[in-house]
Structure 1
């Protein structure tokens, strides 16, 4: 049994607010663990795991004994390839002291399982809204960081994680080259293909710039994530002062060579006409780049 967790569309089919029943079945051990966790959260109870392996999952109330005999045994049925409740002793009767705002079993997996459909419907949904949804459902307020981390898991499950997305980059760039004026730069002598820089624009932008004012504004912004880098942009303006983005590049940083890379391809693909004024924040790396002395 691996530690990877498989997301589903919302909570497990079995409603953890209800009691378990003998013979109740689950599709995987992860579903079993989630159901028991959610049951304990909704009942404000604590339990301990007595046994957990590839074939059995046995849990009981942390105060198991004369005061409470709550316990559950769920085993894997090879014939049906399902997990099944083999023995369930209930109800949970002992009284627990206050557990505070958070519940120790309200972990990332439980939260991610609950917010999956919300994030899938609206990836931009705020953490505060998700926090409210978790609190309304479970009765406990999870921390901002915990909900944020759970949302990242869901995003990675829906759209792929950093490594998977990075591996897809060459294929996407190749597709862009087939239909767009894209120029990309890769290391020349290496056994491993690594992303270096990429410049791209769109033909409608190139055509539109011919009817814009003869000046552009250039700037860069840092990319925050696992791989970092800098996004460079060139912006134009039409006769009605509407803003038009005309070129983009992802480079390693705002230094002389990346700016030279960007400006040279900008001139080649978008602004070949002479006398185009360049407006910038006078970053020293821009000043030192060729073709950036006030005009292209």
Structure 2
């Protein structure tokens, strides 16, 4: 159903989702579209039966919106799983091309910038291998939405305590309803002036592009140095 909706640039709202019953309608149901589906499980036969199905959408758009709610990570993962099983070294560009071809979905302009460093085994340099040093990213909906937020950005950090001992940097802003909204992220080696400069420079270049925005942070010396 997800693939059907994505391919046709339509959407549906689920009203009942239970182990034995599933019922959904088009999001435009009652506004010129009567698409709906009602299915139930027949336990003794171990199969689903369609009880009611209005199959005609009258709200189909020519193109899909970037933020289609059904094009989630699970849907994309299922689409590219066969390709990765055949070739685990599949390039990201090939994955993007497959998603675009399968769903008529274009790149949402998410910004990702990363830096790498040489790899060493002991004191010996390992040729042809680079190690991830730090990475910045901001999702396109965040970039687009910030244009309508208050001219205030707050930055902070938290240390990661899992397998990789890095530091997560986050920038947030505030919308017109006083909701706190994240707008950018970075994973860096540790909290240094250079790491904050990497984060704030990318934040300024890709997200906070307008002037007159106030920055809120603690008085950590590395932040002050990066800002200056």
Query: What is the TM-score with the length of structure 1 in the denominator?
Result: 0.37
Q: Name the one with the larger helix percent.
A: 1
Between Structure 1 and Structure 2, which shows a larger proportion of strand residues? 2
Structure of greater Rg: 1
- Identify which of structures 1 and 2 has the higher relative contact order when contacts are C-alpha pairs closer than 8 Å and 6+ apart: 2
TM-score, length basis structure 2? 0.47
